[in-house]
Amino acid sequence: MNQYTKLAWVLKREIFKFSKKVCKGIWKPEEKLVTNLIYGIAESGSCHLSKIARALKEHILLKKVIERLSRGLRDFSEEEQQKTWDNYTQTVKGYVNDRTVFVVDGSDAVKPYSEKLEGLALVRDGSTGKIEKGYWTLEVTALTSVTKTPLPVYDRVYSAVEDNFISEDNEVLKGLKYVSETFGNRGVRALDRGYDALVYYEYFLKAREKFIIRSAKTRHVCYKGETRNILEVAMLFKGKYRIDFKDKKGKPIYCKTTIIPVALPKHPNIPLNLVVVYGFGKEPMLLLTNIKSDDPRLANTITKVYLMRWRIEEYFRFKKQQYDFEDFRVRTLNAIRVLHRILSLLTGLIGMLSEKREESLFVMELIAASERIYRPKPEKAKRKFLHYAIADGFFAILRKSSAGMANFLIPPKPSAQLSFLVA
């Protein structure tokens, strides 16, 4: 057994153990489906069912494997989906504390040339800005306090033409409530200006959860007992504290921040802080938060915490580029949701392995194997987002294996000799 064969066996064991943990309490056929899909996506680097079926390396017709996977995705009940996700979030709890940042954001899955998919609606393609056919996705990721690794804690694919669809705000509130029920009011919620709406402020204030929301320039706030435009209030100040950053090319960006006590016009008796960040453009960045402290570094801290939300953008890009989620070939909305959730589970496993990169020899070998076998392109090798290296390691090692997960899923038959001795 060579080194890569050993690594493949260890990887399969990790996938099997992880699948057993998240599938606790569901039926065996669904557990087998989850295990095979996690392995198949990791080995093929794709969400295309035919590629997943080939990765399983089963000794039956490929068509039969694809039909079985398609049928399993279609018939996976919402109750069992929820039970699987609840089991997964229980494993994430060990990575969550008061310093965790929960990033809330939406994305899209565009299918411009599809005609027969269930629930196709018009969405805005985040890559091109064009209106295309597809689905909306909402995700919440928890950034670990040490390495800032994004771990998915909520995900949902939804369509505006579903019978039970109410509104985008309702979908977001479902996600926020799930995070509150699972993790309580620990951590800080960070949201972009697309969520600068009274309904979210009131939810966080009622739930007593800390939040940082980037405000739109059109919002009005109460300042010194007077209702004024938020940008006008920000322009009264020039910045008191200095904070420096570097852009993607390493060029330094010199910023200044200030913090201003304000309130919402509808809730004038609930104090908030407006953190104004000068330096990212002609107009300042405006952050509304209910975090309070006498520490003069609070404005800089809130700025740094909010800017961590770029991690979810990298997370979205990782799922689309590394595993090509938008290339799925299932038709029902339930199957699309299950496939997306399985991909989130795999991404969560990768994230938890990434969190252990400094203490796990196995993760170090995984990354090294990725560099030796797969030989990623220079631009990919320079990425700081470690998910790519670990995912490449999965692909590089598992594709050399001559078998899929069959040895782990099918219990070994008792030997004839053992049966004779027992008799």
pLDDT digits (tens, 9 = 90+) for 33-68: 999 999 999 999 999 999 999 999 999 999 999 999
From the CB of residue 218, how many other CB atoms can be counted at a distance below 10 Å? Answer: 9
Query: Residue 419 pLDDT more than 50?
Result: no
- CA-to-CA separations, 67 to 73, 157, 196, 227, 324, in angstroms, rounded: 10, 23, 44, 61, 21
- The DSSP result for 33-95, as a single string, is HHHHHHHHHHHHTS--HHHHHHHHT-SS-HHHHHHHHHHHHHH--HHHHHHHHHHHHHHHGGG
Distance, in Å, from the CA atom of 93 to the CA atom of 125, rounded to the nearest integer, reads: 33
Q: Are 116 and 148 in contact (CB under 8 A)?
A: no
For the ranges 4-18, 56-70, 196-210, which has the lowest average pLDDT?
4-18
pLDDT for res 250: 73
- The DSSP result for 336-389, as a single string, is HHHHHHHHHHHHHHHHHHHHTTTT-HHHHHHHHHIIIII---HHHHT-S-THHH
HSE-up (13 A, CA, CB side) for residue 57: 14
Q: Are 262 and 275 in contact (CB under 8 A)?
A: no
Query: Residue 325 pLDDT more than 50?
Result: yes
pLDDT for res 381: 44
Q: Which residue has the higher pLDDT, 8 or 70?
A: 70
Q: What percent of the chain has pLDDT over 70?
A: 91
Single-letter amino acid, residue 407:
N
Query: Residue 378 pLDDT more than 90?
Result: no
Distance, in Å, from the CA atom of 144 to the CA atom of 3, rounded to the nearest integer, reads: 31
Q: Are 311 and 141 in contact (CB under 8 A)?
A: yes
The radius of gyration computed from the CA coordinates of the chain, to the nearest angstrom, equals 24
Mean pLDDT over 289-297 rounds to: 90
> What does the mean pLDDT of the chain come to?
90
Distance, in Å, from the CA atom of 218 to the CA atom of 234, rounded to the nearest integer, reads: 12
pLDDT for res 382: 43
Please report which confidence band the pLDDT of residue 13 belongs to, taking 50, 70 and 90 as the band edges: very high
Question: pLDDT of 225-273, one tens digit each?
Answer: 999 999 999 999 988 888 888 776 778 888 999 999 999 999 999 999 9
- CA-to-CA separations, 86 to 23, 83, 89, 153, 378, in angstroms, rounded: 10, 5, 5, 9, 39
Distance, in Å, from the CA atom of 253 to the CA atom of 180, rounded to the nearest integer, reads: 36
In terms of Cα–Cα distance, which of 138, 129, 131 is closest to 112? Answer: 131
Q: 3-class DSSP state for residue 207?
A: helix
Question: pLDDT of 67-79, one tens digit each?
Answer: 999 999 999 999 9
Mean pLDDT over 115-124 rounds to: 94
Taking the whole predicted model, whether its pTM rises above 0.95 is answered as: no
Question: pLDDT of 332-377, one tens digit each?
Answer: 999 999 999 999 999 999 999 988 876 777 777 777 776 655 454 5
pLDDT for res 414: 58
HSE-up (13 A, CA, CB side) for residue 215: 29
The 8-class DSSP code of residue 195 comes to G
pLDDT for res 56: 95
Question: pLDDT of 80-99, one tens digit each?
Answer: 999 999 999 999 999 999 99
Mean pLDDT over 110-137 rounds to: 93
Question: pLDDT of 21-32, one tens digit each?
Answer: 999 999 999 999
